[in-house]
Amino acid sequence: MKDIVFDRFGGPEVLHEADIEVPQPGPGQVRVRVKAAGLNALDGKIRSGMLEAVYPTTFPAVPGGELAGVVDALGEGVQGVQVGDDVLGWSDTGSYAEYALATIVAPKPAALDWPHAAALPVAGETAERVLNLMGVAAGETVLMHGASGGVGTLAVQLATARGARVIGTAGPGNQDYLASLGATATVYGEGLVERVRALAPDGVDAVFDLAGKGALEDSITLRGGTDRIVTIADFRAQQLGITFSSGPAETSSDRLAALAQDAAIGKVVTTVTTYPLDQAATAQRVSDAGHVRGKLVLTVG
């Protein structure tokens, strides 16, 4: 099968096409003929080698943690899924490929296209995990740094659905986008503390850092301490006494299915930019640069 691999750590240029054997599903796994693969900032950090201590890599490595596609083989003991089912879920073997193995998948609604389906698993799980970790509730104000990306797009909507107010930071080009999602938008950078205080005179109840670009000190100032500040992107968190949340605490087929249904009927909006599989290096270069609106997705086949 055709896939994208890297044989050494480095920039996006280390990604290249390769032909490898089609994987065979083990117990509890399904094999999926991939139609679309979600691309995450984590993919580039693993490719660069900066997360080797957390995510050990065996070369050649296939990037990608989420997919949407058609089930074409079942491992022993699989129940509730049939060959031919359209699904979305988390990849066990890397999703930048024509075929991938998965243990946890959910049905893809017919009204949800492949790219928008592939945009949901990682972003949805991450957004919910952090909102739950912070205990976000109705009537509270949440500050989200870098809120216009794939996780932020869902986090803004899920937080406002809980009855919270979201102040979201992004670049000048994404201010209207954040407002369309239901956030109060402001730009990041110098003067952020003053801008947020003007927007929330009574303070912010929690801070979700999705950007990892030096906003933790401002977050501590705004919160008056480190309580209820969570980052998924700034590796200085521990030295500052802030919670770093990484990796899925729990992946749920049922919750993913519900999120997919909400996306299919427009209750939850996802925004995607697609690249063909053979342009994975270009897509990761865009991701590495930041400022992505919504989600980057690779289309396969």
- For residue 301, the model assigns a pLDDT of 77
Per-residue pLDDT band at 274 (split at 50, 70, 90):
very high
Q: What average pLDDT does the segment 94-120 reach?
A: 98
- For residue 249, the model assigns a pLDDT of 60
Structure tokens belonging to residue 249: 């605490």
Per-residue pLDDT band at 53 (split at 50, 70, 90):
confident
pTM of the model: 0.93
Q: Are strands 165-170 and 141-145 parallel, antiparallel or unpaired?
A: parallel
**Neighbouring residues of 90: CB distance < 8 A, sequence distance ≥ 6:** 65, 66, 67, 102, 103, 104, 105, 121, 122, 248, 251
Structure tokens belonging to residue 230: 């969570």
Per-residue pLDDT band at 290 (split at 50, 70, 90):
confident
